[in-house]
Structures are given as C-alpha cells and as structure tokens.
A and B are shown apart, each in its own frame.
Chain A
Amino acid sequence: MIAIEISEVSKRYQSLQALDAVSLNIEQGEFFGLLGPNGAGKTTLISIIAGLVRADTGTVRIHGHEVGKDYRLARKNLGVVPQELVFDPFFTVRETLRLQSGYFGLAKNDAWIDEILSNLGLDNKADVNMRALSGGMKRRVLVAQALVHKPPVIVLDEPTAGVDVELRQTLWKFISRLNREGHTIVLTTHYLEEAQALCQRVAMLKNGKVVKQDTMAGLIKHISGSQLVLRLKQGSLPASLHHLLIKQDIKQDIKQDTAHGNAPTNDHAHELAPGAKFSLRVNDYAEVEPILNSIRTAGGLIDEMQLQQADLEDVFLQVMDGSLPA
C-alpha cells in the first residue's frame, strides 16, 4: 500500500519554481529520506503534504486521502515535525500535548502521552512551561506533538538540526521503534550519515525536481569500488592518474558546503599541488599498487594513505554536481 502518493506536484513563488512536477510514491512502512541542498524544495514539498501550502498543480494523497478534498482523513494519518522551533508560551509540556491530542479528536490520551514523554526523555519536564525549556527540549516536544495521535505516517523536517547527540540517539531509537511497528517515516536532513544509517530509500531534490530516487543499497552501488585518499610529501600526481581523480584537498570544504546546503563543485579538481590531499577512484584493491607505483615512478613520496568505502555523501555530491546520471 502507498503511504504517500505525490503526483506531478508543482509550486511557484513569483519567479521561483519551488517544485517542478514532482512525483514520488512512498510505501507503507518505509523509512524514506528526502535529501537536497537548501532551496531544493524539500520543505515546500513537506508543507504541501501537510496541507500548509497548496500546490499549484498536482495531487498528494496520504493513505489514499487527497490532502485538499479529503483533508480530515489525510491529516489524521499524518504527523509532522516542523523544521522551525515553534511553541506556545502559554502552556506546559503536558498541556501542549493534551491540546494537540484534542485537536486530533482524542479527549483522553494520557497513557500514550506518558509513553511519548518517557521515550523522548521528557518525563521530568511534563509540568514545565514551554518557555522554560532549552532548544533541545523544545525540539523533543515538537516531535512528541507530531506523535500524539499515533499517525501511521510521520514526517520529520530536519528534526536533529542543532541538537545534541543525546537527543539524536533518543529520537532515532524511538523513531526506529515506530518504524519497526509499521509507521512510515519520511525524513529530511542535512546529516547524510543519519540518512544512510536509517533510510531504506532516498529521493534527492535539486531546484524543485527529483534528480535521483533509489534504495540506499542501489545508490551506494552507483559508486562502485572505493576511494584511495593520498597525501604526498613531495612530487605531484602524474598526469596518467588524473582520470581517476575524484577530488583534491576539498573534501572538508565540500562537507561544509553540504552542511550549509550548497551544491558542491569540482572547481579545484585539477589544481594539484605537492602536499595536497587527493582522492582517487579505485574499482578493485588490485588497482592500488599500480597507482602507488606510478606515483613513485614520477618521483612522488607518499606521506599519508587511506582506503575509504563510498558513502551516501559521495553519491549526494555526485548527484548534485551532475556527475552521477539521474
């Protein structure tokens, strides 16, 4: 059964085409990742799924219920953790959760509220006013609010942005449990290692379009082999190895760019200098020795060497810069 059916959804804000004929099907029980740099359209898409934004064209169905015409059933099936850290300063944590339960038609929901509070480490904050909570605690309450009506589909829009390791672990433990119990989870995050660890399937958005959609295993498979990361003490990379070059000394920059939501570039790829660190693609471990031999023959002296497996970040970077075909 399809949990979320997104069909040809487009949305334009004045001159900006936020979403351009996006189509996605998310199966019931999936842990699905929605990835992309800032401005790719992830939050707009989630807002349309949640009924907070209306699509110009196209339809979204939650468990078969169209979010516009059949909004009551669509929203009952959906729990959304918004990206912004919002709260109502008039109420305590427990009041906030009771009110949210009531909005979803649940007059008596204290047993489940207590369970959520316990699972999110909020037991001792239940009677504390929302204003008195730290940012991380407010984030936990946002998650709790999305779960009060036990929605079969849960959407988390960057739930771990700016929160500590403890919350991340607590949150993912609880969300993974809900997923095992049959809840569909849709996650957007800039932490690609989280997405890789949790998501079974991923869609990547860029400029309002789905540019890649596959299972996690399928995506990683796109990048065959490994990366040989080298730092030379002297000499430079021989021209015969340039075709294997993935990047040089810029991985850290790329990671920072990605964290800030910018698409990476390969502008520095051929600025090879002695002492620089660079990554070469190797399809087989047997290719390593000939590469090292070529460098030595050209007068290079290796200072540091690592063999790394490809990860989701490598796939993401290549999808965003267009070097990996859609």
Chain B
Amino acid sequence: MSLFSVGFQTLLYKETLRFWKVATQTIAAPVLTSLLYLLIFGHVLEKHVQVYPGLSYTAFLVPGLVMMSVLQNAFANSASSLVQSKITGNLVFILLPPLSHIEIFSAYVLASVLRGLVVGLGVFITTVWFTHIDFVAPIWIVVFGVLGAAILGTAGVIAGVWADKFDQMAAFQNFLIVPATFLSGVFYSIHSLPPMWLAISHANPFFYMIDGFRYGFFGQSDVNPWLSLVIVSGFLVVLAALALTLLKRGYKLRH
C-alpha cells in the first residue's frame, strides 16, 4: 500500500474538488464572517484593550481569526462530506473500491487541511489591510496552521463517521468545536482571565494551537511554543489513532 496510490490521490482530488465547486459557501462565506468579526471587535475594543505591549488589539486579533477560520473549516470539510455521503448513500462509492482505512483517512484529512489553509489565507489577505502584522517566526505559523487543520480535519472524520444525521453533526460542531475555539484565546489573552477559567483554558487543546500560531507572528505567546507543539502533536496522534481505529473497524460504515 502506498500513501501516494492512485486511489488516495483520487479521493483527495474528489474531496478538494467537492469544496472548490461550492467555493462561495466553503471559502468566501467564512472569509466574510471573519472580516466582520475583525471590523466589529476591532472597532469596539481597539482603544480599550492592549494584550501585549506595543501591539494593537486589531493586530492581536488577526492571527486568532485566521486560525479560528482554519480550524472550523477544516472540521466542516471532512465532517460534512462524510455525513452527506452517509445520508445520501453515495458513501458506497468509497466503500466498494479497494481503498484502505489509511488512504481514506489521509485523503479526507488532507483535503480538510487544504480547505482550512485556503480559508485561513483568504482571511489573512482580507484582514491584513486593517493593521500592521509582523512575521517573527514564519515556520511556527506554518507548523501550527497545518497541525491545527489536521487535528480538526481528523475530528471531522470522527464526527462524520459517528453522526447519522445532520443535527448530530451540528451538535458536535456547535457544542464542542465552536465553544472550544471561541474559548481558546482568539479574542483575548487567557492571562486576562480569572484563575479558574485560566486553568480550564489550559486544558483546551485549541488554546495551544492558536497560541503557538500567534507566536509565529509576534514572537509573544501565553505559553512556550515548544510546549504548545508537544501538546498539539500529541492531541493529533490521539485523535488520528481514534479515527483510524473507527475506519478500520468500519464503525457505522460497514455493518
């Protein structure tokens, strides 16, 4: 089995083509949403909040919004594709061919990473005009961007395999993914939180993704980026192992 087999490449191409064909919904809409967040929060809080010395609130906000878009769209890609295919029944076209669970997993997650990064890039390009942004350590930006998208793409695979209905997937997204993203320091530094919420935030893996990502821009973060890298990588390994196990066993796919 080769990860670069024609089967894997085709499934990756199909998953990429799927979101590209409806780019207005899958790319343009989340970019516009993030732009609105920046305009509203930036306008309201710009003169009242300074998270790091010498850094405007709008500049602080941009990397957080970019990463939030990357994460949410990476999740939506694999989750919605799988659930739609299960409900409409066309998942059978993936299950009948000789594709391994590793090929299926890799194709869905990589397509999610691509969508996440495309949306993230779109958010960055449209928001960067409103403030000055540095790139202190670009490698960290790429590493945390890709790892974060991979984690959420993997979570999307798990949700897509588990959910039998759209509302189950929506519950997974609205009660787990969205709160975890919003409470991870997109709009604030967690050091501004009371001790209890600070502790809770440290248990949120999304916090480390966004904090490490933001370090790449400003060279400042709430925790050491190496610690974030270890935690984020470990989280990806755990989720990937779970997703691969579900796919290999055919959980809710092969009855």
Chain A interface residues toward B at CB < 8 A: 47, 50-54, 71-76, 78, 80, 82, 84, 86-91, 95, 99-107, 145, 149
Contacts and interface: CB of A to CB of B under 8 A. Distances in A.
Contacts of B10: 99, 101-103, 107
5 contacts: A51-B96, A53-B255, A100-B93, A102-B7, A105-B7
Main secondary structure of the interface of B (DSSP, over half): helix
Among all A-B residue pairs, the 4 with the closest Cβ atoms: A102-B10, A103-B97, A86-B89, A72-B98
A98 to B, nearest CB: 8
Given A53-B254, A54-B250, A102 B93 contact: no
Contacts of B98: 71-76, 103-105
Interface stretch (B12-20, B39-47, B212-220, B222-230): B12-20
A69 to B, nearest CB: 13
B90 interface: yes
Interface of B: 1, 5-7, 9-11, 13-14, 17-18, 21-22, 85, 88-90, 92-100, 250, 254-255
Contacts of A88: 85, 88, 90, 93
Contacts of B85: 88
A29 to B, nearest CB: 22
Contacts of B21: 90
Contacts of A73: 98
B17 A103 contact: no
A107 B6 contact: yes
B90 A86 contact: yes
A87 B90 contact: yes
Contacts of A75: 96-98
B6 A86 contact: no
B13 A102 contact: yes
A56 to B, nearest CB: 11
B18 A90 contact: yes
A102 B14 CA distance: 10
Nearest to A50: B96
A150 to B, nearest CB: 14
Nearest to A13: B255
Nearest to B89: A86
Contact of B92 (A72, A86, A99, A149): A86
A102 B254 contact: no
Given A47-B255, A89-B88, 9 more contacts: A52-B254, A52-B255, A53-B255, A75-B97, A84-B92, A86-B89, A88-B88, A102-B7, A105-B5
Contact of B11 (A74, A91, A103): A103
A82 B11 contact: no
B108 to A, nearest CB: 13
A76 B17 CA distance: 25
A103 B89 contact: no
B110 to A, nearest CB: 15
B6 A54 contact: no
A73 B100 CA distance: 12
Contacts of A82: 89, 92
Nearest to B5: A105
Given A51-B254, A54-B250, A104 B7 contact: yes
A82 B95 CA distance: 12
A145 B93 contact: yes
B97 A104 contact: yes
**In the complex, which of the residues B85, B92, B250 has the most CB atoms of chain A within 10 Å of its own CB atom?**
B92
